[in-house]
Chains A and B, each alone.
With several copies, the nearest count.
Chain A
Amino acid sequence: MIDEKLVQLLTPEGERISHPQYESSLSGDEILGFYRDMVIVRRLCNESTSLQRQGQLALWAPVQGQEGAQIGAGRALAPMDFTFPSYREHGVAWCRGVPPEDMLRIFRAVTTGGWDPQKYRHSVPTVVLGNQALHAVGYAMGVQRDGAEEAVMTFFGDGASSQGDVLESFVWAASFNAPVVFFCQNNQWGISTPSTLQSKVPLYRRAPGFGFPGIRVDGNDVLAVYEVTKRALDNARTGNGPTLIEAYTYRMGAHTTSDDPTRYRVDAEVEVWKHRDPIERVKALLAREYRVKGSTFDEVTAEADLMALKLRDDVLAMGPPDPISMFENVYADVHPLIEEGRREMIELGISGGAH
């Protein structure tokens, strides 16, 4: 199942292994930082799942199991890089500085976006599978025209990899040698569809046929993901073109809180992947190699709990927007149908029209 070409720097047991092309450049403090990120993101995910169960969110898309892939990729980014996520990149959003409560706005169904994409240099969520891959290539073409040393990264899943838009984005990235990194999280599933239906061969192998390199990395090994992504981003920034990274990982939870994975996959599979947990292996490494103490881990947990408490408060405080806000920012300029709608809504007494 696992390709021998998988880049791995840390075994599931938390032991370092060497790789001919990549070695970890991270200090103990940095690794501890990644550990902290992953713990917080998992906590965020768990809190959101319970918020959803309690009726406080309309939906939640769990990221559990993919923290290694997302933190490794997210931390490899430079501040000026720009990222185009799909809907499950909570870990990447965290690295970009998006406040957790902003990530949850869309799931509380009070907005279709949630954060200022220019401020965090992290685009708004894209729900239509694959659309964002073309935006990333276009943005990267803009970076080229500006002569800037910036990279662009876009995220999509194994399922989305079948969409025409993703495949066309490969053609374009190659044609224009765009400074873009395609980060595909192969979490084995697209809702109930196994990734083996999307491709009989590992997904990273698609890239060479389009004229740029593809690489498969153990997505549950944050050290490896970090190094692989960093190099790919460097290549992009220095005019060496696009890379496709396939982060081989696993969606440990349901597709979303509306999903029922028991219908299509067996518990045993999930069990196997529990042993490959991205957080545990880093913890083992930190404990053994860097002598990080239990109390330090406890502090991280406490910090995550605090974040969760605040998140809960923030979410509960998010009331529904005034309905009249639906007319805002549809157009940049005045538009008669917007005015008409606004007027009607006020006349009907649905909104006071404060907006």
Chain B
Amino acid sequence: MATTSMTMAKALNEGLRRALEKDKKVLLMGEDIGKLGGVFRITDGLQKDFGEDRVIDAPLAESAIVGTAVGLAIRGYRTVCEIQFDGFVYPAFDQIVSQVAKLHKRSDGVYTMGLVIRLPFQGGIGAIEHHSESPEAYFAQTAGLRVVSCSTPNDAYWMIQQAVEHDDPIIFCEPKSRYWEKGEVDLDQPPHGLFDSVVRRSGSDVTVIGYGSSVKTILRAADTAKSEGYSLEVIDARTLAPLDLGPMIASVQKTGRLVVVQEAPNTASLGSELIATLSERCFYSMRAPGLRVSGYHVPYPPSRIEDAYRPSVDRILDAVDRVMGYES
């Protein structure tokens, strides 16, 4: 296994490069993705190497980015749309919900909606408003879509390629606060399937599930918890829709305790979904109610106080304490 160390941003860039190399029908489209390489430089150098016809600088209109990607899909192309920031995906919401999610069905399977919508999501980079949102549940709810999120450079490298190759439309959520963190990338083979959840750390007391930027925070919490005598099992959901319940059920059946961590607010979130579903599947094992550690029910705050909004090690440990506090 030959691995190379690179940042998540670079891993995505390399993954996209391979996708472009492998299949001539793959296109990238988005605002400022050409010469600038995107505001996060994820597409750096790709227009230079693959041309303006394959790495397309878009006029500034998200509905059009997604809507034309639909037309390109009908023509047999696979477009990876970059939405510049999470908060700018909403102008495209109609095209995503009414068309991207439904055209495979409406055409009786004739159209393949093999497109990827890349969303740099979650907060933590000190940005201004609309640049730190967690809209994943809007998409997870929507039948016809799939939603995934990477948390490591290796996953980023492989998942973006797997997503491009997949025939269903995929909302690809990238934890922008982790773009610049390095990790080992195996250039030879993917660590997991695109729709697999992964146990990042085994433990016996509490199952803690998260995704995207939260995974690292949870792992840190697990370190601290260990020193306090609690053993956390950490699961990186990776696929948010569909959920890969297998490893989660196995874990909760073992630990009997569940905490879900997410930056999105609680209401009707992935966290709600995981707790509702796992409470059902693991009813007799649950020694405490599943708890969520989430963003608060407020618009994402100004970034000077975002740390108080985002799930922290402390808040995760507090939830762990609470589930451990239930009599069983």
Interface residues of A, Cβ cutoff 8 Å to B: 58-59, 82, 84, 106-113, 116-118, 123-124, 126-129, 131, 133-146, 159-160, 162-165, 168-169, 171-172, 175, 190-193, 197-198, 258-260, 263-264, 320-323, 325-333, 335-338, 340-341, 344-345, 348, 350-351
Q: How far is the CA of A243 from the CA of B302 in the complex (A)?
A: 35
Chain B, range 139-154, C-beta contacts under 8 Å to A: 143-144, 146
* Subset of 16 A-B contacts with CB under 8 Å: A106-B302, A116-B108, A116-B110, A118-B111, A131-B94, A135-B99, A138-B69, A138-B75, A139-B74, A141-B56, A141-B72, A172-B64, A325-B305, A328-B105, A330-B143, A344-B296
Q: How far is the CA of A139 from the CA of B77 in the complex (A)?
A: 9
Give the residues in chain B near A169, CB-CB below 8 Å.
64, 67
Give the residues in chain A near B290, CB-CB below 8 Å.
none
Most buried by A among B61, B66, B106, B243: B61
Which of chain B's residues has its CB closest to A174's CB?
Answer: B59
Given A112-B301, A330-B143, 12 new contacts (CB under 8 A)? A84-B71, A109-B302, A128-B99, A129-B88, A138-B69, A138-B72, A175-B59, A192-B57, A263-B36, A320-B305, A323-B309, A337-B297
Stretch binding the partner chain, chosen from B126-134, B214-222, B255-263:
B126-134
Chain B, range 45-87, C-beta contacts under 8 Å to A: 53, 56-61, 63-64, 66-77, 87
Give the residues in chain B near A321, CB-CB below 8 Å.
302, 304-305
B254 within 8 A of A: no
A193 B71 Cβ-Cβ under 8 A = no
Q: Given A160, A191, A325, which contacts B39 in the complex, CB threshold below 8 Å?
A: A191
Which of chain A's residues has its CB closest to B112's CB?
Answer: A332
B302 A110 Cβ-Cβ under 8 A = yes
The number of chain B residues touching the other chain, given as a range, is: 35 or more
A134 B95 Cβ-Cβ under 8 A = yes
Which of chain B's residues has its CB closest to A324's CB?
Answer: B308
A134 B67 Cβ-Cβ under 8 A = yes
B303 within 8 A of A: yes
A59 B305 Cβ-Cβ under 8 A = no
Give the residues in chain A near B58, CB-CB below 8 Å.
193
Which of chain A's residues has its CB closest to B36's CB?
Answer: A192
Q: Given A116, A159, A341, which contacts B297 in the complex, CB threshold below 8 Å?
A: A341
Give the residues in chain B near A135, CB-CB below 8 Å.
67-68, 70-71, 74, 99
Which of chain B's residues has its CB closest to A260's CB?
Answer: B36
A258 B39 Cβ-Cβ under 8 A = yes
Q: Given B105, B107, B128, which contacts A127 in the complex, CB threshold below 8 Å?
A: B128
Q: How far is the CA of A331 from the CA of B32 in the complex (A)?
A: 31
Chain B, range 266-318, C-beta contacts under 8 Å to A: 266-267, 296-299, 301-305, 308-309, 314-315, 318
Task: Please give the distance in Å from B327's CB to the nearest CB on chain A.
Answer: 21
Q: How far is the CA of A144 from the CA of B54 in the complex (A)?
A: 12
Task: Please give the distance in Å from B3's CB to the nearest CB on chain A.
Answer: 29
Query: What 3 A-B pairs have minimum CB-CB distances, sorted nearest first?
Result: A138-B71, A134-B67, A142-B75
B103 within 8 A of A: yes
